Amino acid sequence: MCSFHYEAEVTFRLAMPFHLTRIQYDQIVAQARDEAPLECCGIVGGRGDQAQKVYAARNADKSRVHYTIEPKDMLDATRDIEDVNEWEISAFFHSHPASDAYPSPTDVREAVQSGYSECSRFIIVSLLNPEKPVMRCFWLRGGIVSEEALVVAGNERLGA
């Protein structure tokens, strides 16, 4: 499912943070708040290092500590991203309502099992401090956690 050359992409991405617009950032945080104390989840369609659209998805698990993107929502988002717009699945996002914005061992394992760890980022928003959400972006290639800086339009840099 990855279309680009692996080594070239590694070299490229190290120099390039991932970009979200303020509206996209706010959309993810708002969804996390709306669905707390359950985990929320969704998909980010994009091109290169720029997010184009945030797709909210239902968490089929309805859980405080785990998420599974509802298969119908995954299918609809994938069609719009890849077939309609010819973008890429840039990232998957989910919330940690009561823990840090860092991938759990389960997050890493399931990302690898899904196959998407090799071509998509994983964004986590923590509501541990509800007044101050923290959003961070990771690559989980081969099960190795590697943070990528997030830039929200307006040059506010989050995470690494």
Q: Which positions lie near Zn ion, rule CB under 5 A? A: 104, 107
Alpha-carbon distance 67 to 74, whole Å?
A: 13
Name which of 73 and 107 has its Cβ closer to Zn ion. Answer: 107
* CA dihedral sign, ordered 61, 113, 158, 155: negative
Q: How far is the CB of 105 from Zn ion (least distance, A)?
A: 10
Q: How far is the CB of 111 from Zn ion (least distance, A)?
A: 10
Name which of 55 and 122 has its Cβ closer to Zn ion. Answer: 122
Q: How far is the CB of 147 from Zn ion (least distance, A)?
A: 15
Name which of 153 and 158 has its Cβ closer to Zn ion. Answer: 158
DSSP, collapsed to helix, strand or coil, labels residue 77 as helix
Q: In one letter, which amino acid is 138?
A: F
Beta bridge mates, 54: 44
Q: How far is the CB of 151 from Zn ion (least distance, A)?
A: 22
Residue with the CB atom nearest Zn ion in the bound state = 107
Burial of 154 (0-12, 13-18, 19+ CB in 10 A): exposed
Name which of 88 and 107 has its Cβ closer to Zn ion. Answer: 107
